[in-house]
């Protein structure tokens, strides 16, 4: 059963791109947002094999460290011609420290090796799983997905991760060519947002019955 959330909330991420997007989505509401980075929280090993498992690991760690409700995101890009890879391992393809040019180059190389760049643009989807967890172990799960195609070479410098090679269906720009306020806009009507993370957030907002600041 969904609960109303008020007061302080920890965003359980050290990814600066995700943090910017999540802070922007939460900004209109009566929530005091703290980040894992500013609280110097440890980054737990993401040992799960699904988006839900990894989001839960991050949320549980943040709750344990702070005693506050925590919101965690696990996301990635699934490429149809690569049998869903990189998927839950999307960040791992970027190495350590993260180099997203390496990750995007690996996607392109593997698609080229199987001849998937010779015809129609390869199909792909972005996924975002949000888990909102309370100190008493109650949790809510929200999932967003957006389908699209891949383009090479990469285009745009406004996004992060695989954004420069992903064009969502119905759009002519990559995520990295879009202004953030366009990519993550939450419509006032019942139409879907463009981004996967905003689509998951719309579900979270409805479940928590948040009210906007005056």
Per annotation, catalytic residue among 73, 74, 78, 163: 74
Beta sheet of 7-11, edge-to-edge order: 31-35, 7-11, 70-79, 123-133, 139-150, 166-168
Which residues sit opposite 178 in a β-bridge? none
Which residues sit opposite 124 in a β-bridge? 79, 148
Q: Are the CB atoms for 174 and 166 separated by under 8 Å?
A: yes
**How far is 80 from 72, CA to CA, in rounded Å?**
26
Strands (DSSP E) along the chain, which ranges?
Answer: 7-11, 31-35, 70-79, 123-133, 139-150, 166-168
74 is catalytic: yes
Q: Which residues are catalytic?
A: 74
């Amino acid at each position: 059963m969904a609960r109303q959330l008020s007061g302080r909330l920890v965003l359980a991420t050290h990814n600066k791109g995700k943090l910017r997007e999540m802070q922007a989505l939460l900004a209109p509401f009566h929530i005091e947002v703290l980040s894992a980075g500013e609280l110097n929280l440890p980054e737990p090993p993401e040992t799960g094999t699904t988006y839900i498992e990894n989001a839960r690991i991050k949320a549980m760690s943040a709750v344990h460290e702070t005693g506050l409700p925590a919101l965690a995101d696990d996301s990635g890009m699934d490429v149809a011609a690569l049998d869903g890879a990189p998927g839950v391992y999307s960040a791992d393809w970027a190495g350590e420290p993260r180099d997203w040019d390496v990750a995007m180059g690996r996607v392109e190389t593997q698609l080229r090796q199987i001849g998937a760049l010779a015809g129609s643009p390869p199909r792909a989807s972005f996924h975002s799983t949000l888990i909102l967890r309370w100190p008493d172990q109650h949790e809510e799960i929200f999932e967003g997905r957006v389908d699209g195609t891949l383009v090479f070479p990469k285009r745009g410098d406004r996004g992060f991760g695989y954004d420069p090679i992903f064009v969502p269906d119905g759009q002519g720009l990559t995520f990295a060519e879009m202004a953030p306020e366009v990519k993550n806009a939450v419509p006032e009507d019942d139409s879907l947002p463009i981004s996967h993370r905003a689509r998951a957030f719309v579900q979270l907002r409805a479940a928590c019955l948040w009210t906007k600041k005056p």
